[in-house]
A = this chain, B = another copy of it.
Amino acid sequence: MFVRVNAALADRPHTLGDLGLPSESNPIVSLNEFTYRKGTEIYGEKEPAEYVYQVKVGAVRSYKLLSDGRRQIGAFHLAGDIFGLENGNTHRFTAEAVVDTTVRLIRRQSLETVAESDAMVARNLLRMTTKNLQHAEDHMLLLGRKTSLERVAAFLLEMDKRMRATEVMALPMSRRDIADYLGLTLETVSRALSRLHELGIIGFLGNTQRQIVLLDRPQLTSLDLQG
């Protein structure tokens, strides 16, 4: 199932070396691991940001809530992704495990200490923040101006690009999660997926509805209007 796919992904040489840290067993920066069960909170919005995280296996959602329960997911973090990098003292999102998820942790404090002396680490910090910013900027366009079908098409293409699972894409998240990411309801997401299925653009595999095959990528791309 999805676990196998994600495990394959985790085999990529993705370590916190992305931050420019010398190696996996760095004496300065402690690299602990922790596993969160499906649905559990990793940290809450406005909590002090003590750690920075990297997904080893699994998936994480970062979201904000309005007081009446409306939820906006800002990003999904998949294997290899680093999250919780706030550069303020508190987290700006709540982070939860979408499925059983193993993460690596670094103390934010030690990371900042290293960044202070190491220009390359500092540069990578900026590069990653910029990447997050770019994603948020693109997502604003989606949330502000795209139709439901365009949003779902964009979502599938994004996930396909990021998971790079050959052939079958095994989504870890529910329709509700997708909806809250795209600013829609779960019914609208379901209808859009059904429509893409009818049109022969995507296919479903197995009896869980989370395994998707992109049958007609050009068609999907044309639905996702970019610039």
Contacts and interface: CB of A to CB of B under 8 A. Distances in A.
Contact of A72 (B64, B88, B140): B140
Contact of A87 (B92, B127, B144, B183): B127
Interface in A168-187: 180, 182-183
A141 B180 CA distance: 10
Given A66-B226, A129-B129, A136-B136, 16 more contacts: A46-B227, A64-B137, A66-B146, A74-B141, A88-B130, A93-B137, A116-B119, A119-B119, A122-B126, A126-B129, A129-B130, A136-B137, A140-B140, A143-B143, A144-B182, A144-B183
B74 A137 contact: yes
A8 interface: no
25 contacts: A46-B227, A65-B227, A66-B141, A72-B140, A72-B145, A74-B137, A88-B130, A92-B134, A92-B137, A116-B119, A119-B122, A122-B122, A122-B126, A126-B126, A129-B130, A129-B133, A132-B133, A136-B137, A139-B140, A140-B140, A143-B144, A143-B183, A144-B180, A144-B183, A145-B183
Interface residues of A, number: 44
Nearest to A112: B123
Q: State the oligomeric state as a number of copies.
A: 2
Interface string A46-83: 10000000000000000011111011101000000000
